[in-house]
Chains A and B, each alone.
Chain A
Amino acid sequence: MKQTRITTIISPARICTIAGHTFTQLVRMKVFYFLVIFALLLLGLQLIDMPYTSGAGGGLDQNIRLIKSAGFFAMNTFSFILALAATALLIPKDVEDRTLYTILSKPVPRLDYLFGKLFGVIALLVVSLLVMDVIFSSIIYLRVESVVAEDSELLLKMGKPQAMIDAHVSALRAQGVNLALQAGVLGVFLKALVVASVALLISTFSTSTIFTMIVTVMVVLMGLIQAEAREYFMEQQALGGHTVMSEVTRFIALLFPDFKLLGIEDAVIDGKLLPAGIIMRVSLIAVFYSAIYVVLSWFVFRKKEI
């Protein structure tokens, strides 16, 4: 008797298995070595003292700002490289290793395969960002606490009232490790998520890894000027002007994701508190971008001849 096997379109178990395999595959590529560079970079920044910032606590703001800024930049760079390289390599590598044929010859829907691959990359990004966050937060914490100890002693010797010292200490600690800092790390993750999704889409129709990487980098670069293009287009539209430039900017605004909007870590570097509503809305838009690219990836990949 012939058995009919019903395959559900999305199976969390299958997705988890593929994601786990993808994660292991990526870890075996020794991608975590970059964490050593990250730690060394942050330790090196500890030695930099910004000019003209002497005095009790005076320099901390600028020095912490530098550590935060360079730390977030390094996080952005490493997570971008990871998201791009890992995603761009995945499908070609599975084809090369013939793993793809083994998987797809089984009752595994292609959407599950794509989700599994993407979640494997996301798991890698989450783990590496968590490790970077621990290193980053520890260095900021140590720096702030050393200044707190030095300043408290100095102000006490100067005979300043305890209330003033306490206020100074809490102002110093406000620049240290807090929820806003973690929100900044979330911003880095959201950007990497969108980069991985874009790379996934491109890799579904790309013929080479290099092509995928180049096109993804171009999408990211366009995404960095998307906000300016959109603003220009909207201004022109409000003025009733239709020029070639306004049409070009319209297409840039419509086609590309806004990467600047996802850069919530900039506010964290400035020492601002990010409202939860803003974090939610920015996260929502990143998930929206990612969902669109995954759906389109599936659309291209669903009937692709392999």
Chain B
Amino acid sequence: MRSAWKNGIVILLVLLVTGWLRMPYEQALTKEMQQNRLLPPHFDLQTRAALKQKSFAAAFGSFRPTLAAIMAVGATNYHSSQQWDELERTYEEIVLLDPHNEHYWNMGAWHMAYNAAAYYQQAKNLPALERGKQFRQWIEKGDRFLDRGIAANPDGWLLRAEKGRLWASPHRIRNYPLVNRTFKELLTRAQINQRQRDGFRRELLYSLLRTPGSEQEAYALALELFGEGEHQHLPSLLNALMVLQLHPKVTAPEPLGMTQIYGDKIEAYKHLRNYLKAADGYAPLYGVKSLVLKLEEDLQIPMENRIGHGRQ
């Protein structure tokens, strides 16, 4: 019996002493791994409470993503049955379990800002004022969800890009200054390849184009992109460059000619006509219509196919 006690005391002492020796090492290594996002963040009491009994299961590291995936599959039922509050609650739990998976932040935000917002926008059983209020609230919820996802994944590009696209969407509430800030942040902070960089710079250009007061900046970017070569010469970019050259607030020291931009008048007419037809009330239209009309004359476009004609 005495021997058992002696053994117990020795074991305890050895564990305490070695524990004291290893504690700073363990703490430093944990911090380093967490900073590099090689370990999942700790659950605080609030998080544990939010996860209820799932927090126990989730304590087993590698089970967290599996549990999150199971919950994400289950959440599709809430989408189908349009139970938006339940869906939001489920995604809150999912991102607690798997915070470094941008997909779940994106999906949660998409459900809130697009699906739930559209549902309330079209909810015939609600008064018009309430519909508008709910529409805005769910978009803002989605936006906040994206912001939290960005904070949890600062090097990722997906959530920043989706935030930019959310506030540039013609079917939501447009906020081009916010879109500009988001894409500029994305281009400076996220880890992206050249192909992605090219695409996001174009998205920034289309947003700057629609932001009053940013025309000169938009023009500089359009010119820069155009100068990078054929791979950047997409119709939207060519139109942006042409339209910005026509804008009264833009100073273009050496404006490019129409054929320099489009190659020939037929291409210019085709693209500018599309630009006019897709006018969304935000993209500048200074001088575009006159230019198209002049091109119609020059190219002798049949009357019935011209802008302003009934069959256009």
Once the chains bind, are B16 and A281 in contact (CB under 8 Å)? no
Interface residue SS majority, chain A: helix
Q: Using a Cβ–Cβ cut-off of 8 Å, how many residues does chain B contribute to the interface with A?
A: 47
- Residue in chain B with minimal CB distance to A163: B195
Q: Indicate whether A255 sits within 8 Å of B15 (C-beta atoms), given known contacts A62-B103, A263-B39.
A: yes
Which chain A positions have C-beta within 8 A of B59? 221, 224-225
A266 to B41, CA, bound (A): 11
Once the chains bind, are A167 and B193 in contact (CB under 8 Å)? yes
Which single member of A234, A278, A303 contacts B3 (CB below 8 Å)?
A303
How many pairs of A and B residues are in contact by the CB < 8 Å rule? 136
Which chain B positions have C-beta within 8 A of A68? 65
Query: A50: CB under 8 A from chain B?
Result: yes
Once the chains bind, are B16 and A254 in contact (CB under 8 Å)? yes
A227 to B25, CA, bound (A): 12
The smallest beta-carbon distance between A190 and chain B, in angstroms, is: 13
- Residue in chain B with minimal CB distance to A251: B16
Which chain A positions have C-beta within 8 A of B19? 253-255
The segment from A6-14, A86-94, A143-151, A268-276 found at the interface with B is A268-276
Once the chains bind, are A228 and B27 in contact (CB under 8 Å)? no
Once the chains bind, are A265 and B107 in contact (CB under 8 Å)? no
**Mask: chain A, 55-92; 1 = CB below 8 Å from B; 0 = not:** 00000011001101110110010000000000000000
**Mask: chain A, 120-158; 1 = CB below 8 Å from B; 0 = not:** 000000000000000000000000000000000000000
Once the chains bind, are A292 and B15 in contact (CB under 8 Å)? yes
Q: Indicate whether A73 sits within 8 Å of B30 (C-beta atoms), given known contacts A266-B40, A285-B22.
A: no
Interface size on A, as a range, is 35 or more
Once the chains bind, are B23 and A224 in contact (CB under 8 Å)? no
A258 to B15, CA, bound (A): 13
Query: B278: CB under 8 A from chain A?
Result: no
Query: A43: CB under 8 A from chain B?
Result: no
Once the chains bind, are B4 and A258 in contact (CB under 8 Å)? no
**Mask: chain B, 1-22; 1 = CB below 8 Å from A; 0 = not:** 0011001001110111011101
Once the chains bind, are B26 and A258 in contact (CB under 8 Å)? yes
Query: B43: CB under 8 A from chain A?
Result: yes
Which chain A positions have C-beta within 8 A of B11? 201, 296, 299-300
Query: A39: CB under 8 A from chain B?
Result: no
Which chain A positions have C-beta within 8 A of B12? 255
Interface residues of B in 188-211 (CB under 8 A from A): 193, 195
Once the chains bind, are A285 and B26 in contact (CB under 8 Å)? yes
A292 to B215, CA, bound (A): 69
The smallest beta-carbon distance between B130 and chain A, in angstroms, is: 29
Query: B29: CB under 8 A from chain A?
Result: yes
Query: A213: CB under 8 A from chain B?
Result: no
Once the chains bind, are A66 and B66 in contact (CB under 8 Å)? yes
Q: Indicate whether A269 sits within 8 Å of B38 (C-beta atoms), given known contacts A52-B107, A255-B15.
A: no
Which chain B positions have C-beta within 8 A of A231? 27, 30, 42
Once the chains bind, are A300 and B7 in contact (CB under 8 Å)? yes
Query: A173: CB under 8 A from chain B?
Result: no
Query: B37: CB under 8 A from chain A?
Result: yes
Once the chains bind, are A253 and B23 in contact (CB under 8 Å)? yes
Once the chains bind, are B195 and A281 in contact (CB under 8 Å)? no
A228 to B42, CA, bound (A): 6
Which chain A positions have C-beta within 8 A of B15? 254-255, 292, 296
Interface residues of A in 217-235 (CB under 8 A from B): 221, 224-225, 227-228, 230-231, 234
A225 to B43, CA, bound (A): 9
A197 to B190, CA, bound (A): 44
Query: B76: CB under 8 A from chain A?
Result: yes
A267 to B195, CA, bound (A): 27
Which chain B positions have C-beta within 8 A of A254? 15-16, 19-20, 23
Query: A37: CB under 8 A from chain B?
Result: no
The smallest beta-carbon distance between A117 and chain B, in angstroms, is: 19
Provide 8 A-B residue pairs closer than 8 Å at the C-beta atoms, listed in order of the A residue: A66-B66, A260-B39, A266-B39, A266-B40, A278-B29, A285-B29, A292-B15, A295-B14
Which residues of B are interface residues toward A (Cβ below 8 A)? 3-4, 7, 10-12, 14-16, 18-20, 22-23, 25-27, 29-30, 32-33, 36-40, 42-43, 59-66, 69, 72-73, 76, 100-101, 103, 107, 110, 193, 195
Which residues of A are interface residues toward B (Cβ below 8 A)? 48, 50-53, 61-62, 65-66, 68-70, 72-73, 76, 164, 167, 201, 205, 221, 224-225, 227-228, 230-231, 234, 253-255, 258, 260-261, 263-267, 269-270, 272, 274-275, 278, 281-282, 285, 288, 292, 295-296, 299-300, 303
Q: Which 3 A-B pairs have the closest CB atoms?
A: A254-B19, A69-B65, A263-B61
